[in-house]
Amino acid sequence: MSKVRIGVLKEAPERKLTVLTPAGVERLKGKADVLVQRNAGGAAGFTKAAYEAAGAKLADTEEELLEGSDIILSYGHRDFRGSYNGQKTFIGIYNFLWEPHKVDLYLQPGINVHSLDLIPRTTLAQSMDVLSSIGSISGYQAVLLAAERSLATVPMITSAGGTLRPARFLIMGAGVAGLQAIATARRLGAVVKAYDVRKASKEEVESLGATFIEVEGATDDRNAGGYATTQTEEYMKRVHERLLEETAAADVIITTARIPGKKAPLLVTKEMVMGMKPGAVVVDLAAATGGNCAFTEPDQVVIKDEVTILGPTAIESSCGYSTSFLLSNNYVAFLEYLLKHQENLAQDPILSATLVVQDGKLVNERLMALKAPAN
């Protein structure tokens, strides 16, 4: 029986990373043959020679890679409608819950699709959790980006001219990205406060040396799978009043709050921005799904009343080598699991959760609910 053939596509120029590194190719030896599109890892620091030394073969074009692969790996979407030949399985981070219409790219016979952003957050699937990997790098990079843009130094500095106080950071959202932002800002010497609607995050925030901002009356979030939940209007009004005070004192605000399949919650209002100090910086990591700040524009620098608002949508790409290292481990863990359990797609808790398209038909219940016509 011949080995499964795995192909690795080169990402779009703005996404300087790869989802399978040479080390990942090494891990797949004996389980699969790997074909890599030429220069797929170049922007992330992985050479063609390194891939060949690891056992991969190179494909000059996307067409050659598609033709020679059974499983195709990428970060995002490709529009290959009409160019598939035979059975193909696409694996990527497709974010269908936010863009359900893009599932139409894959609705033709013979096509299977697994979207890894749908990986359940369970112990069994922990090694495959691409969102945690992306969140870790994003939180880290957000602090560096904010520090570069800020008019103030981050740590306390004492010199002949006097003493500079440490910068005040406010982190909104204490998931993986938020916690990494807290840890990074604290390492740089900032005074850090953090807000999250999830009460369970208080202990984690305080363990990193930050102050947790508490507002009473949040909706219970214990069964939310680690994500934020929608809150009542009355509660959000109290949050707004408290955050008006906190945003006015902050030198840097980093927002990270997302709700799967929904527009990102508004946390930094126009009123808050207008009340911030000149030179303050907002880095909005939810820009791709509508933004947590009222003035955020995806991948743009917006300046309002001398406050700088940044909305990067691919910030993890600015640390492409490290992001690729983490994602490659996630993808390989998923591939190993898929190859072992693929005869049980519909019943397996991980494979069924990520399976969006099977033989050209939409089968994911979460996506089917989003695409169903309104009554």
Q: How far apart are CA 136 and CA 131, in angstroms?
A: 8
> Which residues are designated catalytic?
121, 126, 129, 132, 227
Specify whether the backbone of 45 is left (phi greater than 0), alpha (psi in -120 to 50) or beta.
left
Q: How far apart are CA 196 and CA 237, in angstroms?
A: 15
Classified as helix, coil or strand, 248 is helix
pLDDT value, residue 225: 53
Question: What's the pTM value of the predicted model, to 2 decimals?
Answer: 0.92
Q: How far apart are CA 344 and CA 362, in angstroms?
A: 17
pLDDT tens digits in sequence order for the chain, 375 residues long: 568 999 999 998 889 999 999 999 999 999 999 999 999 999 999 999 999 999 999 999 999 999 999 999 999 987 777 667 778 999 999 999 999 999 999 999 999 999 999 999 999 999 999 999 999 999 999 999 999 999 999 999 999 999 999 999 999 999 999 999 999 999 999 999 999 988 889 999 999 999 999 887 766 555 555 455 566 788 878 888 999 999 999 999 999 999 888 899 999 999 999 999 999 999 999 999 999 999 999 999 999 999 999 999 999 999 999 999 999 999 999 999 999 998 888 889 999 999 999 999 999 999 888 766 554
Q: How far apart are CA 259 and CA 177, in angstroms?
A: 14
φ/ψ of 141, rounded to 5, equals -65, -35
Contacts of 138 by beta carbon, 8 Å cutoff, 6+ apart? 177, 180, 256, 285, 315, 316
Q: Residue 75 is which amino acid?
A: Y
pLDDT value, residue 302: 98
Task: Give the DSSP H/E element, type plus range, for residue 65.
Answer: helix 62-67
| DSSP string of 296-309, one letter each residue | --TT-EEEETTEEE
Using a 10 angstrom Cβ sphere, with 0-12 exposed, 13-18 middle and 19 or more buried, the burial of residue 360 is middle
Q: Note whether 92 and 119 are within 8 A (CB).
A: no
Domains and CATH numbers, the chain: 4-128+319-360 (3.40.50.720), 150-313 (3.40.50.720)
pLDDT value, residue 235: 81
The whole-angstrom distance between residue 119's C-alpha and the CA centroid of its chain comes to 13
pLDDT value, residue 79: 77
